Every structure is written in structure tokens, then in C-alpha cells.
């Protein structure tokens, strides 16, 4: 069972990243590709993946720790709660306006930078080459760190300035 859970934990970020791209590539009248991709990345690649990761850090700390080459520690709970919070806010951003998305993207980019630096440092100093420390997950983290701000910038260029400043309720905003 632990191997199955570890396999799922290792692949959810990759699956949601690819799924976000595939869904965003579907044509949709009135919404530029950059905004669709930003929305789906926030919902799936960040939102679902971070909630999923957080659940494992909080409720299955031994499995989460071993998948990144660590021993279990109280840190598992703290990073788990942080991951869940990031995921929930990213999911909420799917239905919110541009300013909300911008704040979420800036936070995720900075958090991802710290995570990437930390994982590379662990690889160099502790020779930690575990799959979820120095593997596809690190590549996705770095890709999101770069891609999300670029998509935000492209979406900002493509939107009418007046529509960015008008508050949007979930009922009026269609993210796809």
C-alpha cells in the first residue's frame, strides 16, 4: 500500500500539470490562451497538486518524508499545512479576478524559488537524489516558477485595463 501511495504522490503533480495544458489548449471564444492556461495551471497543477501533497505531509508523514529522502519530522505537518493553504488559494483563484490571481502567482513563484533552491542544496550537500527531491517534481516546480509569472504577464497584456480593475464575482467570471 505504501508503494502505491508513493507512486500516486509522485505522479499527481505530473498528471495535473499535463492535464492543465491539455484542457487549456481547447479553443474557447473570448478567452486568450494565456489566461486559460494560467487559470488551469492554478486550479490543477498548483491547486490540486499542493492540496494533495499537503494531505500526505499532514496525514501520511512517513510516506511523504521517505519519498523526498527525509526522515519524518515535525516539519512534515508545517509544510503540509502550508501546501494545503497554497493549494486552496490557488483553487479559489480559478474563479477570481486578475489581482487575486496576481497575488497568488507572485507567492507561488517566490515559494517555488525557495523550494527549488532548497532541493538543489539538499542534493549537493546531502546527496539526496530521491525522486521527489531531485526529479520530475523539481522540474515542475521550476517550470511553474517561471511559467506562471509569464502567463500572468501575457494575460495582463491581453486584457482590457478596465476589466482588470472591476471586481468579478464567481457568477460573472468564466475561467475557461
What percentage of residues in the chain have a pLDDT greater than 90? 52
Residue 56 pLDDT: 87
pTM: 0.82
Number of H helices and number of E strands within the chain? 8, 0
- Does 69 fall in a domain? yes
Q: How confident is the model at residue 11 (pLDDT cuts 50, 70, 90)?
A: confident
- Does 165 fall in a domain? no
Domain tally for the chain?
Answer: 1
Residue 174 pLDDT: 54
- Does 108 fall in a domain? yes
Check: CB of residue 83 under 8 Å from CB of residue 132.
Answer: no
Residue 35 pLDDT: 94
161-168 contacts at long range (C-beta below 8 A, 24 or more positions apart): 163/98, 164/97, 164/98, 164/99, 166/97, 167/97, 168/96, 168/97
**Mean pLDDT value across residues 81-85:** 96
Compute the distance between CA of residue 78 and CA of residue 89 in angstroms, rounded to an integer. Answer: 17
Q: How confident is the model at residue 169 (pLDDT cuts 50, 70, 90)?
A: very low
Domain that holds residue 8: 2-160
Per this entry, what is the length of the chain?
A: 176
Residue 10 makes CB contacts below 8 A (sequence gap 6+) with: 67, 131, 132, 136, 137
- Does 171 fall in a domain? no
Amino acid at each position: 500500500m505504501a508503494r502505491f501511495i508513493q507512486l500516486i504522490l509522485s505522479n499527481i503533480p505530473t498528471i495535473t500539470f499535463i492535464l492543465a495544458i491539455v484542457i487549456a489548449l481547447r479553443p474557447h471564444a473570448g478567452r486568450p490562451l494565456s489566461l486559460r492556461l494560467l487559470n488551469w495551471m492554478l486550479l490543477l497543477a498548483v491547486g490540486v497538486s499542493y492540496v494533495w501533497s499537503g494531505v500526505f505531509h499532514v496525514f501520511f508523514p512517513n510516506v511523504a518524508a521517505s519519498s523526498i529522502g527525509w526522515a519524518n519530522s515535525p516539519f512534515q505537518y508545517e509544510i503540509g499545512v502550508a501546501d494545503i493553504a497554497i493549494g486552496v488559494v490557488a483553487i479559489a483563484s480559478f474563479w477570481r479576478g486578475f489581482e487575486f490571481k496576481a497575488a497568488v502567482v507572485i507567492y507561488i513563484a517566490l515559494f517555488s524559488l525557495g523550494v527549488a533552491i532548497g532541493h538543489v542544496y539538499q542534493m549537493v550537500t546531502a546527496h539526496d537524489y530521491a525522486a521527489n527531491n531531485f526529479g520530475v517534481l523539481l522540474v515542475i516546480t521550476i517550470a511553474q516558477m517561471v511559467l506562471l509569472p509569464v502567463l500572468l504577464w501575457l494575460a495582463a497584456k491581453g486584457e482590457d485595463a478596465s476589466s482588470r480593475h472591476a471586481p468579478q464575482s464567481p457568477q460573472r467570471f468564466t475561467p475557461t
